[in-house]
């Protein structure tokens, strides 16, 4: 009589390589789509496919956190970190444009100090 803990299919799982698919949502950074795709292709051991507004990465060993780190690295290397930031949301990497401050309108309407008329 055998009372061992052998499960059906145990051991076979190691024979199959499970690939993970990740998405990079480019947002307003579409003009850098090909450059980012090429950058990811040179570093990753996997498939990199670009779509209209997204890049899809198909890899065995990559985690979504590692993909986020690589996209951040690309943003910094291209000196785009003053315009864009990267976030990890719902299992996808998303690129957002930084919001501009609205103080510029105030500065445009201010009178320069040299033309201020004093009443005294």
Cα angle 23, 19, 57; round to 5: 25
CA dist., res. 67 & res. 120, Å (int): 65
Spell out the domain ranges in the chain.
17-97
Distance (Å, whole) CA 65 – CA 88: 8
Write out the chain's pLDDT in tens, 120 residues: 444 444 444 444 444 455 688 999 998 888 999 999 999 999 887 789 988 889 999 988 889 999 999 999 999 999 999 999 999 998 899 999 988 766 555 556 666 566 666 666
CATH number at 17-97 = 3.30.1360.210
Closest CA to 99 of 86, 87, 82: 82
């Amino acid at each position: 009589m055998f009372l061992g803990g052998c499960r059906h299919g145990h051991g076979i799982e190691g024979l199959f390589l499970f690939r993970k698919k990740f998405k990079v949502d480019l947002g307003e950074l579409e003009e850098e789509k090909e450059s980012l795709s090429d950058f990811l292709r040179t570093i990753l051991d996997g498939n990199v496919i670009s779509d209209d507004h997204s890049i899809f990465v198909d890899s065995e060993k990559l985690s979504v956190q590692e993909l986020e780190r690589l996209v951040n690295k690309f943003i910094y290397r291209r000196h785009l970190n003053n315009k864009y930031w990267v976030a990890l949301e719902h299992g996808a990497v998303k690129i957002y444009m930084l919001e501009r401050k609205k103080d510029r309108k105030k500065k445009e309407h201010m009178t320069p100090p040299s033309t201020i008329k004093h009443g005294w």
